[in-house]
Structures are given as structure tokens and as C-alpha cells.
Amino acid sequence: MLGTEFSFDKFRLDESSSIKKHEIMRSSSNQSYRIVAIPGEGIGPEVVEVSLQLLQQVAKLEKFTLQVDYGWLGTTALKQFGSYFPQATAELCNGSDGIVFGAVTQGGLLELRKHYDFFCNLRPIRIVDSLINKSSLRPEKIKGLDILVIRELVSGIYFGSAGRGSDEKGAYGYHTMLYYDHEIRRIARQALQKAQQRRGKLTVAHKENALPNLPWTRLVQEEASQFPDVVVEPMLVDNLAMQMVMNPQRFDVILASNLFGDILSDIGGALVGSLGLLGSASLNADGFGLYEAIHGTAPDIAGKGIANPLGTIGACVLMLEQWGEIRAAQLIMAAQDRVLAQGYRTADLSPQGSEILVNTEQLIQLLLAEIYNLQNTEMGVLHE
């Protein structure tokens, strides 16, 4: 059974609702930020544009200014500049406070990550209570789920030597997985710090029974001597993938190489109900970041106005948190929880029964209405 058709006439601000999971901080920043938006291809331009629309309104309410410049990456960049990652985009990104990225089919993204050394990729996987029935698992298996996948992003098999060749046995291809010990150590320190700030458990994905020359377990455990409160749990990646499906609540922070982290974090889409819900932040040592949803270009729905923007919005929330704009980040998340609790769903969340199907723009308008409502009712002031 399809969900109920959306109508703005049926939507009313709930003045009596209160924030239960979000305590809004009460300070305005008066800061100024410049970001570079790289919409990319497929649904990328759609989700980036509406996310920036929401971000600009929150900036006005929270009294910080946001300048947005637009860059190019992927096939659109290739057509215009002859390069997947043109110098024009790099020049825009230099000196900015963050990059908000949509999606590309191929080319440019790995170069962008490597250029700015975005080695630390944070991928939160959290269940929203009102979407617990959208998970592929039973509610009791998923309730309260809160996992942080930390993926090393600028080394490993995606950046090793690769090619095609042939010999007397025939044609062959190869990709090389290479990690310097210091690359593993630095991402290990980031993961240990996050685990220390959370519930104190770090699971390390590895495949040392088949790849013994990549000693993730030993190197992480050596770094862990500086974090005595963190329990380090090495786990073979194939078993880890199974455990994420069988018993996901056992995990706190998961540390993985580039390839393993790419695969494991996508399991999160099945756990929470849709890849469209998941955002990520990729940071370098200076705290400069690239912020994106973890979904791809989704060419089958591109241009239809039905894409779920919550992954990109979630990435923007991570950007706000990185800047220290905590109240703005909490405001967006509180609004998201309220809108989803009222039954509004984009198509990827398969609305059923009384749930209300909305498109991309309608969801943004609902979020904005809740943000204004929260400012007015929870804070006692509505900034014009």
C-alpha cells in the first residue's frame, strides 16, 4: 500500500512538541564562512541545492554569514575544463572553510581527496526512532543504533599502482594495496580519540589471515597505549560484516582501510533504511573538510525531484559541528527528527499506510517550517 499523498494544507506546526533528544545551545556566533559547493552529476545538484537553501536560512537565524562559491568535478568539469579535477576548482577550494559535494560517476573525487589529504572519513550510522520499521532488521536488533565508521581515505588499493597487462597465460589486471605504517597510525589516533569521546570501544577491521603485511592490529594497539580507557577489538572484516547484520548494537567505533570502510559503511544504509540518510565528513590534519552524502549519482531518479536530501543535510550538520556551530547543527537535527516523526517520507523510504510521500523540495520546506517553529517555541525568539 502506498503512502498518503502530501498536501501542505494538512501540515500544521505543532506548538506543543518539545525537543527530547536535542538540547539547543543558546549562543549566536556572528562568524563568517565561505564554502565551495560542487554539485556534480545525477542527483548531486538537486540534493546540494536544497541543502544549501536550508543552510542559508539556518545561517540567518543563527546570525552567521555563509558565502557559497560553485566548483566543478567529474564529467561536467571534464567537458568544461578538460580535467576531472580542474585547477579552477582547486583555486576556489583553497582558503575556504569547507566543501559540500554532491556526486560524480567517475573521475575527480579521488584526486580531490588526495590533493587536500582528506585522510579521515567519518561516517555516522544512527537509527532514527520513527524510521526503525524501515531497517532490514527487526526493531529490537536496531533500536538505539549509533555506530561511527572511520575510514582511511587517501591510501590503500584505490591509490596504489594499477594497470592492465598480458603474459603467456593471457590478459590480466592488477591493483596494489599499499599502506605506510604512519598512515595507519595517524588514522588509528583519530579513531581512538573518537572512541574515547564516545563509549570507549574501537573495532579494527582487518584481513591479516590473508594480508599479513598490513599489520593494522599491531599498529592500532601500539597507538592505543596512549588511550587506556579505550577497548580495542580486532576483527576479521568478513566476520565484521556479518556481525554488523547479526548484532549491530555491539559496535561503537569501527576503523577500516579505504576499501573495507567503503564496503562496511554501505551496510549502514540497510541498517537505517536508506543510503539517502547517511552523510559523511572527510577531514585533513588541519580540520579542513569535504562533506557529502555516501550515496552515488542515482541516475534512475536524477531530474525527477524525488531524491532524499537528508544524507547531504547530515553532511552539512557535520560541517557545522566541525566549525563549532553546535546550535545550528542541533537545530537541523531536531527539525529532521520532528518531520520524520510526523510521517513524512521521500520515495526511497517506501511510504506505507498513513506515511506521507513528499518530494525533495517539499521535505526542505517541512524542515524549514520546523526550524522556525523550534526557534520560536524552544528558544523564545525568532530571528528575522
Confirm whether 229 is a catalytic residue.
no
**Beta-strand pair 65-70/98-103:** unpaired
Confirm whether 97 is a catalytic residue.
no
Contact 281, 217 (CB under 8 A): no
Confirm whether 141 is a catalytic residue.
no
Contact 37, 98 (CB under 8 A): no
The active-site residue, picked from 207, 291, 300, 372, is 207
**Beta-strand pair 253-256/146-152:** parallel
Q: Rg for the chain (alpha carbons), in Å?
A: 21
Instruction: Report the SS3 class of residue 238.
Output: helix
Contact 344, 366 (CB under 8 A): yes
Joined together, the cell numbers standing for residue 381 give: 525568539
Minimal CA–CA distance to 6: which of 297, 384, 362, 281? 362
* Residue 164 Cα distances to 156, 171, 174, 175, 306, angstroms: 18, 7, 7, 9, 40
CA distance 324 to 95: 18
Residues composing the chain: 384
Minimal CA–CA distance to 195: which of 224, 168, 222? 224
Joined together, the cell numbers standing for residue 82 give: 578538460
Joined together, the cell numbers standing for residue 235 give: 576483527
For residue 186, the surrounding DSSP H or E stretch is helix 181-197
Joined together, the cell numbers standing for residue 286 give: 588541519
CA distance 222 to 226: 8
For residue 336, the surrounding DSSP H or E stretch is helix 326-341
CA distance 207 to 205: 7
Contact 278, 305 (CB under 8 A): no
Confirm whether 116 is a catalytic residue.
no
Joined together, the cell numbers standing for residue 287 give: 580540520
Contact 208, 220 (CB under 8 A): no
The active-site residue, picked from 116, 179, 194, 262, is 262
The active-site residue, picked from 117, 158, 201, 372, is 158
Confirm whether 158 is a catalytic residue.
yes
Give me the active site residues, please. 158, 207, 238, 262, 266
